[in-house]
Amino acid sequence: MKRTAVALRAAPLVALLGVMFGGCAPQGGTPQAAQAPSAPPAVAYAAHVAAGGNLPPGGTLRNPHAGDAAVAKNGALLFTAMNCDGCHGADAAGAVGPNLGDGRWRYGGEDPEVFMSIYYGRPKGMPAFGGALGADGVWTLVTYLRSLAPPPNLPTQAFPPLKLRPVGRG
């Protein structure tokens, strides 16, 4: 009899615990974290070199704010707020880090490639900002950078070769 009374009092607690922790168990199948992806996440773009002529699978990224002047203006504010100008200079014109408005990009200058550089970072100094900004914040920065007009003079621009005259002896 005592066991029945204890069981009746414990039944609501057991039911509550079942509801609380019932969602913690996987709902059949393999948990998503344990599933191996068929290919690592990557962006497919033309600059990739394909071994054997076959490019590996890659996703496509599209800038949801491409050409939006209001987002570009917010991107300029975000550029300063995140201290991007600390390395890339005012108006992204270059300082310790490279100029981001001159159209010359080491890791590709299309929107998806610039996104990947900001989101995941790059070796030798570019931190990954994806964790701090999220995808929308990074796209806002990409939109700002794409809105910048290239400078009229590029300091490393190729110049036509000089025509030298031979100097005679004598």
Q: Is it the case that residue 1 has pLDDT exceeding 60?
A: no
Burial (Cβ within 10 Å: 0-12, 13-18, ≥19) of residue 61: buried
> Regarding predicted confidence, which is higher, 112 or 79?
79
Q: In the chain, what percentage of residues exceed pLDDT 70?
A: 62
Q: Is it the case that residue 47 has pLDDT exceeding 80?
A: no
How sure is the predictor about 37, in pLDDT bands with cuts at 50, 70 and 90? very low
Burial (Cβ within 10 Å: 0-12, 13-18, ≥19) of residue 1: exposed
Distance, CA of 128 to CA of 82 (rounded, Å): 12
- The whole-number pLDDT of residue 153 equals 76
- The whole-number pLDDT of residue 169 equals 62
Model pTM score:
0.64
Distance, CA of 127 to CA of 117 (rounded, Å): 9
How sure is the predictor about 66, in pLDDT bands with cuts at 50, 70 and 90? very high
The arithmetic mean of pLDDT across residues 125-151, rounded, is 94
Distance, CA of 145 to CA of 143 (rounded, Å): 6
